[in-house]
Amino acid sequence: MARSLLNEIKQDLIDDSGSVLWSIITGEQLEFPVEVDFLESVLDGYEFECVIVEALNTVKQEEYPTDIRPAGAQTTLDLRLPNLIGSWDANVAYNNEDVVSFGVDFYKLVASNGYINSVSPADDDNWVITTMNTLYVQFPSTLTSDWELHATANYPVYGFFELRVTEPNTSIYRRTWKPVRGLIQFLFSPTHIVPD
């Protein structure tokens, strides 16, 4: 069997579509869905950690920072998992974002709280088909409040973002993946500096 030299890379055994750049205006409070496509369900006992560390931003920086700020801010973000209620029941009152199973599919309610309807999720526009491998990363409005530098009208500030996924304790050899990572950019916001 022929062998390749170590530096003659022919294939990538762990496919990586690249880093992300998220752009948020200072003071925004947002929630983003992240599909963990290598999992069937995020409710199967996996551990998740999502963090942002402050980058070594400089005054009037023209390029992305490439280092973290020594002793800079470190923030662990909250994650929301799907709220799986169980099998759909026409007599149950459901709330917005509740997930039910119906047949072989899962449906998420996009109507207001206390929703009751005898029409099945497959035929009701208030239910949308969903997957169980999506989690929701929550970015609080206070994210950069403890950073050394803040965005100005012409210059954003940056942090480094990463999501970690670890198998349940029941695994023989617990694997850990880091499927989403990259930069998070914070832009200047006039409404953030003007008192309410």
CATH number of 83-131: 2.10.10.20
User: How far is the first Cα of the chain from the last one, in angstroms, to the nearest whole number?
Assistant: 71
Q: Judge whether 57 and 156 are in contact, CB under 8 Å.
A: no
20-81+133-193 and 83-131 agree in CATH topology: no
The pTM score is: 0.86
SS3 at position 123: helix
Q: What pLDDT does 171 receive?
A: 82
Tokens (6 digits) for 183 = 């930069």
C-alpha 149: how far from chain center = 24
Top-level class of domain 20-81+133-193: mainly beta
Q: Judge whether 163 and 180 are in contact, CB under 8 Å.
A: yes
Question: Mind listing the pLDDT tens digit of every residue in the chain (196 residues)?
Answer: 556 666 666 666 666 666 888 999 999 999 999 999 999 999 999 999 999 999 999 999 999 999 999 999 999 999 999 999 999 999 999 999 999 999 999 999 999 899 999 999 999 999 999 999 999 999 999 999 999 999 999 999 999 999 999 999 988 899 999 999 999 999 999 998 888 7
Boundaries of every domain in the chain: 20-81+133-193, 83-131
DSSP string, 125-148: TTEEEE-SSEEEEEE-TTTTTT-S
Question: For residue 161, how many other CB atoms are within 10 A of its CB?
Answer: 22
Tokens (6 digits) for 187 = 């832009």
Q: Judge whether 73 and 147 are in contact, CB under 8 Å.
A: yes
